[in-house]
Structure 1
Amino acid sequence: MIAFHAQGGLGNQLFQYAAARRLALLHRAELVVDPYWFDNCRPNETPRPMELQKFAVDMRMASLAEQQQWRFYRSRFGHLVQPFLPLKLFRENGYGVNLSVMGAPINSYLYGFWQSEDYFRDIRPQLLTELVPSISPSDADLEVLELISQSNAVSVHVRRGDYVSLQSASTYHGTCSLDYYQKALEHVVGRIADPVFFVFSDDPDWTSENLRFPHTTHYVRHNNADSAFQDLRLMSKCKYHIIANSSFSWWGAWLSDQSDNLVVAPDNWFAGGRPTPDLLPADWIRI
């Protein structure tokens, strides 16, 4: 068995799944997700729904008995009782890749965010088939997909939401400035002929009022919070990407199978300049 602690929004869940999925494939082991956090997040955290089951993922949910047994793994003191537990605990340490996790043995429990493709790059073809929504595109999605297929489509993601409304998230993450988007626009326009922009955001009203491009632009706003996972499919079908400091748009870009994929990302991912040496793939452009 390979088990992992799931937490956070969809982008974070995908990182956690991908890292654990690689180990499960390596060991030909069952993959089990511990969903405890979703009903028990702390007051300074943004409540999120479990969304991995909306994709063609190969895993099962931990039983209530397993979740109870694994409470020690979720505790900060889990390492103290590790010798008495059935699974080996791997708890993320720092912002860089934890090499020990890459070789974690069978019967391991992963607790962390694992935000680097280094943890799962070698199973990319497998993930491209699994991380597709199980629910078919809506009529509105199909209309956008048609527009994307007919153009040099550039996805643009603007993350606001709890980055603005929740003080702890604002202090930790910060938001990408309009200056960042202007510089990213200039970089893309200087390399791509006749770009068409598709803008995605959890605050579409603010975005449409404040972010304007001197090119054909579609503000994609038909998917609500419950169907926002469908936006990942739309973003991944774009040829080029301007992402926010958001794991959601990270995945929208990474899941693109375009051979000439161009991705522009913010150099500062966290407020305060916390280092992220392994978070962005080497061929992505940092601004």
Structure 2
Amino acid sequence: MPFTINFQLRNFYKCRLGNNMFQYAAAYGIATKNNMRVMLPSVSVIAKTFKVDADMPENATGLCSTFPVLSELNSAWGMFIQSFSLEIYGNYSVCIQGYFQSYKYFNHVKNAIRKQFTSFNEDTRIKAVTILQKTKRYYSKSLNVTSVTVIGVHVRRGDKLSLGDIQFGNRVAPREYFVKAMDHFHSKYTNSIFVICGEDQTWARKNVQPIYNVIFLNKSSTPDIDLAILVMCDHMIMSIGSYSWWAAFLNVGEIVYYKDWVLPGSDLYKGFKHEDYFPPEWIPM
């Protein structure tokens, strides 16, 4: 039986790549527990970006509209709802909606998820590999060393600085966080370089660039290429948001994250559980 997810159900929320990845991963995790299949439209951003293990019939969206809907709690922004992950009641096709922003929905199939989400299309993979190879060659020669350690740094500010996002409970990572995180890695890996990506390069160049050996990704780079580069780095420094989270989750190295992202007492805080969102092996700063 197909287990379906429709990325268009939450019409009040404009889903971006990172949010879609959480939705697919949760659907895959829940479906696997129930011996079912995930179905999604072939035109979805997930299908276009990755080689996922899902059924993609031409009428996927139409079929989903005929299935009963199972909804995660509306206030669950970053928490695991235990009852939702249990077996689906009845042997029937369903459509799910929600944020599902907890690794616990798919921790039992994390290797399969990582494999699917690192299966970038060939053009994306080649561009990411080329950029990293050029970066390593340049700095190896510049520093007169045989190899360098590449640390990916994601800087997200932009929309999270809006009044609505701030009132909701978002706090962007400040300069002090990035300095501390970069100090941490530089103390462990002397021949380290930092690859910076994010939409606010003006801020990053002013606040991050003067610290260590830093390279900025091209402003015209696409989200899938940036993601591939961050994933291929040796280690990573997160900022906030689902895109940054996924870059960290797919990276096999050491991960540092901003622990003060969510404002205590805020609406975001009420639907967020630290232990459900951040894997225990990640390092808070």
Alignment TM class, shorter chain as reference: 0.7 to 0.9
Contact (CA 8 Å) 1:2, 1:32: kept in 2 or not? yes
Contact (CA 8 Å) 1:3, 1:34: kept in 2 or not? no
Instruction: Note if 1:110 corresponds to 2:96.
Output: yes
1:168 aligned residue: 164
| Partner SS, residue 277 of structure 2 | coil
| Partner SS, residue 56 of structure 1 | coil
Instruction: Note if 1:119 corresponds to 2:105.
Output: yes
Specify whether residues 139 and 100 from structure 1 end up closer, same or farther in structure 2 by C-alpha distance, changes over 3 A only. closer
Instruction: Note if 1:267 corresponds to 2:259.
Output: yes
What is the TM-score normalised by the length of structure 1?
0.77
Contact (CA 8 Å) 1:269, 1:276: kept in 2 or not? no
1:228 aligned residue: 223
1:196 aligned residue: 193
| Partner SS, residue 123 of structure 2 | coil
Instruction: Note if 1:256 corresponds to 2:251.
Output: yes
Counterpart mapping for 1:79-90 below 5 A: 86-87=67-68, 89-90=70-71
Tell me the CA shift for residue 199 of structure 1.
Answer: 0.5
Contact (CA 8 Å) 1:148, 1:237: kept in 2 or not? no
* Letter of the structure 2 residue corresponding to residue 13 of structure 1: N
| Deviation digits for residues 231-275 of structure 1 (CA, Å, limit 9, x no counterpart) | 111111112111011211111111123xxx211101123344614
| Partner SS, residue 199 of structure 1 | strand
| Deviation digits for residues 62-90 of structure 1 (CA, Å, limit 9, x no counterpart) | 64533544xxxxxxxxxxxxxxxx53613
> Structure 1 CA distance, aligned partners of 2:94 and 2:260?
32
1:218 to 208, 215, 220: 215
Contact (CA 8 Å) 2:177, 2:258: kept in 1 or not? yes
* Letter of the structure 1 residue corresponding to residue 99 of structure 2: F
Instruction: Note if 1:181 corresponds to 2:175.
Output: no
* Letter of the structure 2 residue corresponding to residue 239 of structure 1: D
> Structure 2 CA distance, aligned partners of 1:239 and 1:123?
23
Contact (CA 8 Å) 1:152, 1:195: kept in 2 or not? yes
> Structure 2 CA distance, aligned partners of 1:148 and 1:111?
42
Give the unaligned 5+ runs of structure 2. Answer: 8-13, 138-146
Give the unaligned 5+ runs of structure 1. Answer: 36-48, 70-85
Give aligned-pair identity as a percent. Answer: 21
Deviates more, 1:100-109 or 1:197-206: 100-109
